[in-house]
Structure 1
């Protein structure tokens, strides 16, 4: 099976390529210096000859997107639309990676795959537009929403916390935002399992199970790093700065995976214990 991975140099893209290659697949890894996903002609030619396209390319700088929404829209919505149209023309299945930010973040129970969208940030709006474009342009699609990603191949919350914890005597971390820390390696594996299972077209949630706050996740990080978790002090979102609003609650449910017989990713605490040595190396 031939796979095309867009955004292959990003944190998720690197693990996606690695998981696929270790599984024996033929992978074309592209990034923005090779493929402009907003260029329809380039995308149509790049998709040709592949069986699966995974779109890991995205404008993920949440605060920058708030200040440059039109540029984020080009990547997150127009680029997704171009890939979807090319995939449909070539008879290729498209996997679109999306985000918890498409929801309002004011819930109290995990969002279902069919829950109404209500993005409150530019990032969320542009990713929601990308979901709409993929569903409209390519019948054979898998939209996989994820959240709170961390991995070895890029900047992420655990790396930042571990570094700062070694430099300071304490850290203030918000305790009123709840979600599901998710290892990029686990998400890449889930994408492969969904495709292997020939899952029906539709939307799935690719996050770890369980839920936690950034405060408790930070304590888990410094514990693994051999530091005192008591150095992490609780703070509130009101004290944090930044132009983009963050979801207060963004845990995602996994009913769609269960219905098609694909096991969700395990509990975030267990997966972090497995991932930590690789991510913090």
Structure 2
């Protein structure tokens, strides 16, 4: 099986490619330097030439705040780019997996969002990711849509790396304590994605590490496990204004994974332990 992965330089794309290689799968990781996903002709030409059996579409415009002001670019990448790739997948009869986000929901309430709940994005980034989902469903008969949240991986920037960097110079930090969700370790997620892509269990899935926490609780656990003496002050969303609205409830139900026989990802605190070991080995 030959699998093409977009966004191979990002956190998730990188780990999907690495995991596939470990499993002995023929992986083709691509980035902006290979072709521009917003250019239909370029996409079709590249996909036709490589003729993959499956496409895992991890590439996205993910700068949530910038998206509010740079709507044109965000739309082109997240909607047009997805449309071009899905159409090219159809042309070569390749399986297609679209990586989506918790931002497709409005973040209201306290119950975990189900796979069957109707999305209602509140920000432009979430809107484009939801439109990307709709494009995939309209163009293809069979597809995987995998919604993820609070991503961290070895390759790229993330909340954990930011907290560890700040801990070098600060002994006290204000962190939002009223937004709930699940951290997602790309190492764990990449295994699930590759398990899924070889099946025909198509549909919408929610995939994140088990358990829920707030950003402040996440930060506390990072400092505890990394043995950093930093006091975390939990503040409200209103005390930390951002250009784009952040969902207060990013909890997602993973019922569909279980129903279809996929292994749930490890508990988020265990994933954090694994990740901290991984990045400490990289530094040594």
Fold agreement, TM-score > 0.5? yes
Contact 2:54 2:96 (C-alpha < 8 Å) held by counterparts: yes
Contact 2:83 2:132 (C-alpha < 8 Å) held by counterparts: yes
- Offset at 1:169? 2.0
Find the counterpart in structure 1 of residue 146 from structure 2.
144
Q: Considering only aligned residues, what root-mean-square deviation do their CA atoms show, in Å?
A: 1.2
Among 85, 92, 102, the residue aligned to 1:100:
102
Find the counterpart in structure 1 of residue 205 from structure 2.
204
- Offset at 1:143? 0.5
Find the counterpart in structure 2 of residue 85 from structure 1.
87
Q: Tell me, what secondary structure is at the counterpart of 1:161?
A: helix
Q: Distance in 2 between matches of 1:211 and 1:199?
A: 29
The correspondence of residues 1-281 of structure 1 with structure 2, limited to 5 A, is 1-48=1-48, 49-196=51-198, 198-229=199-230, 231-279=231-279, 281=283
The answer to which of 168-177 and 264-273 deviates more is: 264-273
Q: Distance in 2 between matches of 1:267 and 1:169?
A: 27
Give CA-to-partner distance per residue, 1:169-228, whole Å, 9 cap, x none. 2100010000001101111111001123x1422111111111000000001111122112
Q: Distance in 1 between matches of 2:46 and 2:4?
A: 8
Give CA-to-partner distance per residue, 1:148-167, whole Å, 9 cap, x none. 00111010000000110121
Q: Which runs of 5+ in 1 are unaligned?
A: none
The answer to which of 43-52 and 125-134 deviates more is: 43-52
TM-score, normalised to structure 1's length? Answer: 0.96
Q: Distance in 1 between matches of 2:59 and 2:214?
A: 27
Contact 1:107 1:250 (C-alpha < 8 Å) held by counterparts: no
Contact 2:171 2:229 (C-alpha < 8 Å) held by counterparts: no
Q: Tell me, what secondary structure is at the counterpart of 2:168?
A: helix
Q: Distance in 2 between matches of 1:279 and 1:217?
A: 17
The answer to which of 131-140 and 211-220 deviates more is: 131-140
- Offset at 1:37? 0.9
Q: Tell me, what secondary structure is at the counterpart of 2:65?
A: helix
Q: Which runs of 5+ in 2 are unaligned?
A: none
TM-score, normalised to structure 2's length? Answer: 0.95
Contact 2:37 2:81 (C-alpha < 8 Å) held by counterparts: yes
Q: Tell me, what secondary structure is at the counterpart of 2:277?
A: helix
- Offset at 1:82? 0.7
